[in-house]
Amino acid sequence: MSWQYLAEGPPLTGGDRGVVVVVAVIALAALAVGYVLLKEVLAAGQGTSRMQEIAKAVQEGAGAYLKRQRNTLLIFGSIVFVLLFFLPAEGWGERIGRSLFFVVGAVFSFLIGYLGMWLATQANLRVAAASREQGGREIAMRVAFRTGGVVGMSTVGLGLFGAAVVVLVYAGDAPKVLEGFGFGAALIAMFMRVGGGIFTKAADVGADLVGKVEQGIPEDDPRNAATIADNVGDNVGDCAGMAADLFESYAVTLVAALILGSTAFGSQGLLFPLIVPALGVITAVIGVYITRAKTGESGLTAINRSFYISALISALLCTIAAFVFLPTSFSELDGAANTGEAGSPALIAAVAVIIGIVLAGVILWLTGYFTGTDYKPVKDVGKSSLTGAATVILSGISVGFESAVYTALVIGASVYGAFLLSGSLFVALFAIALAGCGLLTTVGVIVAMDTFGPVSDNAQGIAEMSGDVEGEGAAILTELDAVGNTTKAITKGIAIATAVLAATALFGSYLTAITEALAEAAADLDLTDFIVFSPDVLVGIAIGASVVFMFSGLAVNAVSRAAGAVVFEVRRQFHANPGIMDGTVRPEYGRVVDICTRDSLRELATPGLMAVLAPIAVGFGLGVGPLAGYLAGAIATGTLMAVFLANSGGAWDNAKKLVEDGNHGGKGSEAHAATVIGDTVGDPFKDTAGPAINPLIKVMNLVSLLIAPAIVTLSIGEDANAAIRITFAVIAALLIAVAIFVSKRRGTAIAENPADADNAPVPNGVA
């Protein structure tokens, strides 16, 4: 291995730069297509004045939340921006570039999230209005899916454009600068996932517990003060959060692929990871435009068909690109460190990309099986409602546990399959990164599928609250909502797979960072420091696994506290204003929105600090070997936990819909009440804790990647300083402990006696 090559990175020729320019132009074309889709969505009809009034309340609530979240994130972002200057880099050019592109990645991630939220709040009204028109089913579905298409094209466009610009400016040093770009995207996505997830599920749980269970009124009944907050939450959680999450997966996977590619394939390895997602832009456009349900055909069937067609086109185009752009022998690579390796770089790259694309398709089917209403797992959960809420919860947990095993095995098989493509460690790791790039060629369609869910859900809510959509129109929206519920679950499964592939590739990039730092310190890598049965590495694995559990617990507990405040407020309004139930008094929707906003933003700090500081505490305290173990523990446990939470929650949600469709007694029955309780438990599972694990493991990997050179510097050589190293570790551990202590001391703001709610003070995110 050539350490000098690793440190400097491969140069780019004029032809190479031409390829990057073409990629950048394709990225801009994706943004242009997104704009065309945007104009089409906004041109759709907006329905009645009552529908517009309700939609405006949702738009204002979502906008106010993201504005306050932006101000909160500015504080964290500013601190990290400054700290990045002090991490080791090859000169001030890299330091400045890394910090600047951290800001670019963070801004892009927030913009994608904001666009997803803003457009969804515009589209839900238009989908509801379309259901009332002639041919309403086709129009409503097209508007909902193309809304997601706008966000999907923006995701691939901004992610690809940002990476291409960095490669153009920094050439062989681009991977170092891209670490900042990926870190900015991942950090903001994690905050948006956590904050949006807490907001949406606090409102949803509060609305269900008081509205459905206590008052016996429908889910989106306008008499429930939490209904507007619930609709706002769908947008700031599912739309803004998922859009930012998939954008950062896109960015982080590119970062890992470029770092490993420049090591494994030289300059071609720096460019091919850009070519793959550029081809994904073409397939995303095709996937969005061909999605339309035939007469009598399920909307889910139409969406799945588009996904599989897009995936097949991606596989063909990427295979052709691999054999056109890459040589068939390692000796022909330009400046690669592995010129003596056997095998064909073109074949390795093509197979790796196909593995990622196939993985996306398998995860789509597997998640659909465990969360879809047409399959046995959800039907069994629904049947268990006949014996009460306890059996509903037990059966849903069982589905989550079982599905996590199969999903982890499928992802593991994909990772191992990519790893077996080469006998060289760095080439094998690059193949894993390319599998991630292959999976993300479908990200444009994936984002469209995900956004389709909350847009359809909100459309049904607006229709029910306004009372202006009846008969066939209401049936259309009910069908689209059921389809959207399944697509949301499916895209969560695919997002988890992208997170694991990205994190595994970053794990390899971590090794690259360590070897570079050791080369500069003229020291050798002692592989015994990484052996799993070494006690310190085993401790690192245990800590990494425990952080996932703590993070999940904090997220669920945050929802519990915020939902308690919502329950208290909604009860207070029902008790204080009896006219709400007979429709003569309008509920105070804004008070619940304000509670959810304050509580969700208050809860951001603790999980955010844990994600950033835990790797620092382990790395500086125990060393690079235990930190590698920490990352392995977090990736493995995070995979299982994320799938368990997402699929158990999805199964509970769809079991409730199964009962609401008339099975096992239908709405208002004891079975229905049991499934509502199950769905309430599942809400923070599938929409808060589960999805937030995706950016968590990538943030921790990127932090480890950034601090690895500093750990090596302080551990060996002339600049070794154990006192400074241990001080960093202790400070990080203390900050985590203080944050958790403060979080655990917060109250729930639930009244001791619901009958006293008339005179109880209104909770305002009580600490």
Rg (CA), the chain: 25
Q: Which range among 380-384, 547-551, 755-759 shows the weakest confidence by mean pLDDT?
A: 755-759
Q: Locate tokens 């932006």: which residue? A: 70
pLDDT of residue 367 exceeding 50: yes
Q: For residues 69 and 427, which has the higher predicted lDDT (pLDDT)?
A: 427
Closest CA to 752 of 558, 589, 564, 557: 564
Q: Which range among 157-161, 353-357, 564-568, 714-718 shows the weakest confidence by mean pLDDT?
A: 714-718
One-letter amino acid of 515: T
pLDDT of residue 318 exceeding 90: yes
223 confidence band (pLDDT: 50, 70, 90): confident
Q: Locate tokens 């900015």: which residue? A: 184
In tens, the pLDDT along 692-724 reads 898 888 889 888 888 888 888 888 767 778 899
Task: Report the b/e string of 687-703 with b at 16+ CB within 10 A.
Answer: bbbbbbbbbbbbbbbbb
pLDDT of residue 529 exceeding 80: no
Q: Locate tokens 């509670």: which residue? A: 595
Determine the pLDDT at residue 353.
95
pLDDT, the chain, mean: 83
Residues 195, 317: Cα–Cα separation, whole Å: 38
pLDDT of residue 325 exceeding 60: yes
What whole-number percentage of the chain has pLDDT above 70?
92
pLDDT of residue 397 exceeding 90: yes
Region 142-165 average pLDDT? 88
Residue 251 and residue 215 in contact, taking contact as beta carbons nearer than 8 Å = no
SS (H, E, C) 538-600: HHHHHHHHHHHHHHHHHHHHHHHHHHHHHHHHHHHHHHHCHHHCCCCCCCCHHHHHHHHHHHH
pLDDT of residue 504 exceeding 50: yes
The tokens of 399 are what? 């589905």
pLDDT of residue 764 exceeding 50: no
pLDDT of residue 68 exceeding 60: yes
Q: Give the other-Cβ count within 10 Å of 402's Cβ.
A: 15
Instruction: Indicate the angle between helix axes 174-207 and 670-684, nearest 10 degrees.
Output: 150
Closest CA to 201 of 674, 645, 580: 645
pTM of the model: 0.85
Determine the pLDDT at residue 261.
84
What is the DSSP annotation of 128-152? Answer: HHHTTSTTHHHHHHHHHHHHHHHHH
One-letter amino acid of 403: S
Q: For residues 607 and 752, which has the higher predicted lDDT (pLDDT)?
A: 607
Residues 24, 168: Cα–Cα separation, whole Å: 10
Closest CA to 82 of 99, 64, 61: 99
Q: Which of 126-130, 206-210, 291-295, 501-505 has the highest mean pLDDT?
A: 126-130
SS (H, E, C) 242-259: HHHHHHHHHHHHHHHHHH
Residues 677, 278: Cα–Cα separation, whole Å: 45
Work out the angle at residue 53's Cα, subtended by the Cα atoms of residues 52 and 59, and round it to the nearest 5 degrees. 85
Residues 529, 547: Cα–Cα separation, whole Å: 22
295 confidence band (pLDDT: 50, 70, 90): confident
pLDDT of residue 758 exceeding 90: no
pLDDT of residue 526 exceeding 70: no
| Helix-, strand-, coil-residue percentages of the chain, each rounded to 5 | 85, 0, 15
Residue 321 and residue 253 in contact, taking contact as beta carbons nearer than 8 Å = no
What whole-number percentage of the chain has pLDDT above 90?
25
pLDDT of residue 124 exceeding 80: yes
Region 676-705 average pLDDT? 88
Q: Which range among 117-121, 263-267, 456-460 shows the weakest confidence by mean pLDDT?
A: 263-267
The tokens of 95 are what? 């330091």
In tens, the pLDDT along 643-665 reads 999 999 989 988 988 898 888 88
One-letter amino acid of 352: A
